[in-house]
Amino acid sequence: MSRLVVVSNRVADLESGAQSGGLAVAVASMLEETGGLWFGWDGNIIEEETERTPNIVRHGRATVATIPLSRSEYETYYLGYSNKVLWPSFHYRLGLLDYESSFNEGYRRVNAMIADHLATMISPTDLVWIHDYHLIPLASELRKRGVKSRIGFFLHIPFPPPDVVVAVPEHAWLIETMFAYDVVGFQTSSDVTNFQRYVLEQADGVLKAGGQMSAFGRTIVVRSFPIGIDVDAVAKMAHTPEADASIRLLATRTLNRAQIIGVDRLDYTKGLPDRVRAFRRLLELYPENIKRVILMQIAPPTREEVAAYVEIREELEGLSGNINGEFGDFDWTPVRYIHRAIPRDILAALFRGSKAGLVTPLRDGMNLVAKEYIAAQDEDDPGVLILSRFAGAAEDLEEALIVNPYDMDDVATAMQRALKMPLQERVERHRALLGRARAHDVTHWREQFLKALANAQHRYAA
**Which residue, among 219, 225, 170, has the nearest Cα to 199 in the 3D structure?**
219
CB-based contacts of 247, cutoff 8 Å, min separation 6: 349, 352, 353
CB 111 within 8 A of CB 117: no
Q: How many residues does the chain have?
A: 462
- Min. distance of Cβ 454 from ligand GDG in angstroms? 21
CA 289 to chain centre: 32
* Strands (DSSP E) found in 325-409: 335-338, 356-359, 384-388, 401-403
- Name the residue nearer to ligand GDG (CB basis): 18 or 206: 18
Other beta carbons within 10 Å of 210: 6
Rg (CA), the chain: 23
Whole-number Å distance between alpha carbons of 47 and 137: 25
Nearest-approach distance from CB 171 to ligand GDG, in angstroms: 20
Stated as kind and residue range, the H or E segment containing 214 is strand 212-215
The residue among 28 and 263 lying less far from ligand GDG, judged by its C-beta, is 263
Cα 300 to Cα 265, 313, 338, 339, 426: the distances in Å are: 5, 10, 7, 5, 29
Tell me the closest approach of the beta carbon of residue 22 to ligand GDG, in angstroms. Answer: 7
Q: Which residue's CB is nearer to ligand GDG, number 54 or number 228?
A: 228
Compare residues 137 and 185 and give the one whose CB is closer to ligand GDG.
Answer: 185
Cα–Cα distance for residue pair 383/355, rounded to 1 Å? 4
Please provide residue 399's backbone torsions phi and psi, each rounded to the nearest 5 degrees. -85, 0
Active-site residue, from 131, 134, 156, 430: 156
Q: Is 396 a catalytic residue?
A: no
Active site residue 156: yes
CB 52 within 8 A of CB 40: no
Query: What residues line the site for ligand GDG (CB under 6 A)?
Result: 21, 156-157, 227, 263, 265, 298, 300, 341-344, 347, 364-369, 372
Do β-strands 335-338 and 293-298 pair in parallel, antiparallel, or remain unpaired? parallel
Task: Choose, from 230, 274, 364, 396, the residue flagged as catalytic.
Answer: 364
**Cβ-count burial of 315 within 10 angstroms (0-12 exposed, 13-18 middle, 19+ buried)?**
middle
CA dihedral 12, 128, 363, 165 (to 10 degrees): 140
Cβ closest to ligand GDG, residue 104 vs residue 367: 367
Q: Which residues are catalytic?
A: 156, 364
